[in-house]
């Protein structure tokens, strides 16, 4: 895919050089997002009929992993955009699909709420019909790109229909939206995350994505496979970065009195070996998840849940190993491992959280209904 060749130059010219400052200042990677838009990469999952690249989940996984190797914050902004794009491709207007395909529009998911917390499938925010409009009231706990996105895929309880949730397309600046301010977070600091609230927000009928009450089906059928696979790809990218920096350090730095590099210590080599195995197992699982989905295999949804839980755990383990084998050097910020360590800590709390996934996976393997 020709446009993906441009990705490497965007990474080396824009994303990699600014990653440190983005983390330190908690600033949004606007230059990278603009460049990705111009290169068509914001429209990777948009179909060719609206001017997109018509790429698949495997393509998106490679893009996210490559970016996350240098800047996981940018990779997460793009991950949420691809999740929103998939919904808009299925349920949005042609005009909006074209805007995304052209790289002019960044979207994201506003799902998690302060009331139902990480149980994003059960929003407690309300939607009520009032004449020709719907009125939305809800409190979202944390939205990636909140301060920068052009639209939000918003969830609420259904207005009338049965089902757990309804989805809405909310444009930036819609009256009734309030956004206190972005978080000063531990990791993924450059994604302009913020809580958001809707207070008597009026939306036209046309803002409803799909039907009243069908949000859960869209979450599970459309978004979960993309989110879990790309979240895993983000974890993989930062694991590879931590491993590469560790290997460079332990092979390049030596004990002068022994005339030997740190890698001469069997203990160090064993830690590196275990981290390599963990990262490779994660990659194998990620690639198998992409295949399972493409082939519509019966185990595809199990793989989807496994890949996010396993990659989040693997990222914790590999970045901790990187800190350990590099000693004091990794405790400082210059190696980048300290940033990988902090960024790795987002994945297991991004919903569905690892503990929720363990519950779901346990139900699946015990033959119990997973989402019942």
Q: Which residues bind ligand FAD (CB under 6 A)?
A: 80, 108-112, 117-118, 120, 141-144, 188, 193, 346, 349-351, 353, 355-356, 359
Least distance from C-beta 355 to ligand FAD, angstroms?
A: 3
Least distance from C-beta 314 to ligand FAD, angstroms?
A: 17
Least distance from C-beta 344 to ligand FAD, angstroms?
A: 11
Question: In terms of CB distance, is 112 or 214 closer to ligand FAD?
Answer: 112
Question: In terms of CB distance, is 178 or 248 closer to ligand FAD?
Answer: 178
Q: List Cβ neighbours of 221 (8 Å cut-off, separation of 6 or more).
A: none
Least distance from C-beta 162 to ligand FAD, angstroms?
A: 23
Q: Which DSSP string corresponds to 102-126?
A: TT---EEEE--BTTTBT-TTS---E
Question: In terms of CB distance, is 82 or 134 closer to ligand FAD?
Answer: 82
Q: How many CA atoms lie within 13 A of 99 on its CB side?
A: 15
Which contacts qualify for 359-368: CB closer than 8 Å, 24 or more apart? 360/305, 361/302, 361/305, 361/306, 361/309, 364/301, 364/302, 364/305, 365/302
**Nearest CA-CA partner of 119 in 186, 219, 205, 41:** 219
Q: How many CA atoms lie within 13 A of 282 on its CB side?
A: 32
Question: In terms of CB distance, is 196 or 322 closer to ligand FAD?
Answer: 196
Question: In terms of CB distance, is 134 or 152 closer to ligand FAD?
Answer: 152
CA 358 to centroid of chain Cα atoms: 19
Least distance from C-beta 139 to ligand FAD, angstroms?
A: 11
Least distance from C-beta 359 to ligand FAD, angstroms?
A: 5
Least distance from C-beta 108 to ligand FAD, angstroms?
A: 5
Least distance from C-beta 65 to ligand FAD, angstroms?
A: 18
Residues 279, 247: Cα–Cα separation, whole Å: 14
Per-residue CA distances from 348 to 118, 166, 237, 304, 315 (Å): 11, 26, 15, 14, 9
Least distance from C-beta 216 to ligand FAD, angstroms?
A: 15
Q: Is 183 helix (H, G, I), strand (E, B) or coil?
A: coil
Question: In terms of CB distance, is 75 or 350 closer to ligand FAD?
Answer: 350
Residues 116, 276: Cα–Cα separation, whole Å: 38
CA 30 to centroid of chain Cα atoms: 17
Q: List Cβ neighbours of 149 (8 Å cut-off, separation of 6 or more).
A: 81, 106, 107, 108, 143, 172
Q: How many CA atoms lie within 13 A of 249 on its CB side?
A: 23
Question: In terms of CB distance, is 111 or 271 closer to ligand FAD?
Answer: 111
Question: In terms of CB distance, is 108 or 156 closer to ligand FAD?
Answer: 108
Question: In terms of CB distance, is 44 or 188 closer to ligand FAD?
Answer: 188
Per-residue CA distances from 226 to 40, 78, 265 (Å): 19, 12, 41
Residues 345, 358: Cα–Cα separation, whole Å: 17
């Amino acid at each position: 895919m020709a446009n993906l060749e441009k990705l490497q130059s965007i990474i080396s010219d824009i994303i990699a050089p600014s990653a440190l400052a983005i983390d330190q200042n908690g600033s949004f990677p606007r230059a990278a997002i603009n460049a990705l838009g111009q290169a068509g990469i914001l429209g990777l999952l948009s179909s060719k009929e609206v001017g997109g690249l018509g790429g698949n989940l495997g393509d998106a996984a490679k893009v996210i992993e490559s970016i996350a190797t240098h800047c996981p914050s940018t990779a997460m902004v793009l991950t949420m955009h691809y999740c929103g794009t998939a919904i808009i491709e299925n349920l949005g207007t042609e005009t909006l699909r074209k805007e995304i395909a052209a790289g002019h529009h960044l979207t994201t998911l506003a799902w998690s709420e302060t009331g139902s917390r990480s149980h994003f499938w059960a929003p407690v925010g309300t939607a009520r019909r009032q004449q020709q409009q719907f009125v939305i009231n809800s409190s979202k706990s944390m939205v990636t790109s909140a301060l920068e996105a052009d639209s939000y895929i918003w969830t609420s309880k259904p207005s009338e229909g049965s089902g757990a949730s309804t989805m809405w397309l909310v444009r930036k600046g819609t009256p009734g939206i309030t956004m206190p301010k972005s978080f000063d977070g531990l990791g993924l600091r450059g994604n302009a995350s913020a809580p958001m609230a809707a207070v008597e927000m009026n939306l036209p009928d046309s803002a409803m994505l799909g039907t009243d009450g069908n949000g859960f089906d869209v979450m599970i059928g459309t978004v979960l496979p993309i989110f879990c696979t790309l979240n895993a790809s983000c974890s993989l990218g930062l694991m590879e970065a931590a491993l590469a920096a560790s290997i460079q350090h332990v092979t390049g730095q030596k004990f002068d009195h022994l005339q030997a590099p740190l890698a001469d210590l069997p203990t160090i080599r064993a830690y590196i070996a275990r981290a390599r195995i963990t990262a490779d197992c994660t990659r194998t699982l990620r690639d198998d998840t992409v295949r399972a989905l493409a082939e519509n295999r019966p185990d595809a949804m199990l793989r989807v849940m496994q890949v996010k839980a396993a990659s989040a755990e693997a990222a914790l383990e590999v970045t901790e190993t990187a800190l350990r084998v590099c000693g004091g050097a990794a405790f400082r910020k210059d190696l980048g491992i300290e940033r990988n360590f902090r960024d790795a800590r987002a994945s297991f709390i991004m919903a569905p959280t690892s503990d929720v996934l363990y519950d779901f996976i346990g139900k699946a393997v015990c033959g119990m209904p997973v989402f019942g």
